Amino acid sequence: MRTLAVRDKRAAVTVKSPSPRRSRGGLTTARWKQKFLRALKKTPSVKHACLAAGIARSTAYRQREDDGAFAEKWDSAVAESVDEIERAAFQKAAAGDPQLIMFLLKSHRRDVYGDVSKLNIDTRLCGFVEVPPKEDRPP
């Protein structure tokens, strides 16, 4: 709290008004949150966003826990950043990167391009299912 002196013609009155909260680096909480979210939109790294805002990771996570609106903005910033990375990956894949093409197809069309393994078990059996050991084949 800071004290402001207000002078009346008859008497001096002291009024208390809240002072803006400042972090160690001298930034107000609102200011470092802006810097943090801006950095998080560029890259989805909390470590790098904290460095950009000049705060400790524990400060960011504490504010995330205490401030629901900040937590929502945080999630939105990360989603926006990942969207941008995904856009860049699609462009690179379209340019002919075969590994990236397969990765993106597997992640977005898992039912068609994903790894498939099925195991059917007849539940009418009483007992256990024995899976034979994998055979070692010479190269």
Provide the 10 A C-beta neighbour count for residue 76: 13
> Does residue 95 lie within any of the structural domains?
yes
> Does residue 36 lie within any of the structural domains?
yes
Q: How far apart are CA 81 and CA 88, in angstroms?
A: 11
Rounded to two decimals, what is the model's pTM? 0.60
Of the CA atoms within 13 Å of residue 106, those in its CB half-sphere come to 9
Q: How far apart are CA 103 and CA 87, in angstroms?
A: 14
Q: How far apart are CA 23 and CA 34, in angstroms?
A: 13
> Does residue 6 lie within any of the structural domains?
no
Spell out the per-residue pLDDT of the chain, length 139, in tens: 444 444 444 444 443 434 445 545 557 899 999 999 999 999 999 999 999 999 999 999 999 999 999 999 999 999 999 999 999 999 999 999 999 988 888 888 888 888 777 677 766 666 666 777 777 666 5
> Does residue 125 lie within any of the structural domains?
no
Domain count, the chain: 1
Of the CA atoms within 13 Å of residue 8, those in its CB half-sphere come to 6
> Does residue 11 lie within any of the structural domains?
no
Residue 126 structure tokens = 């009483």
> Does residue 91 lie within any of the structural domains?
yes
Q: Which residues pair with 12 in a beta bridge?
A: 7
> Does residue 7 lie within any of the structural domains?
no
What's the domain range around 53? 22-113
Radius of gyration over alpha carbons of the chain, in Å? Answer: 28
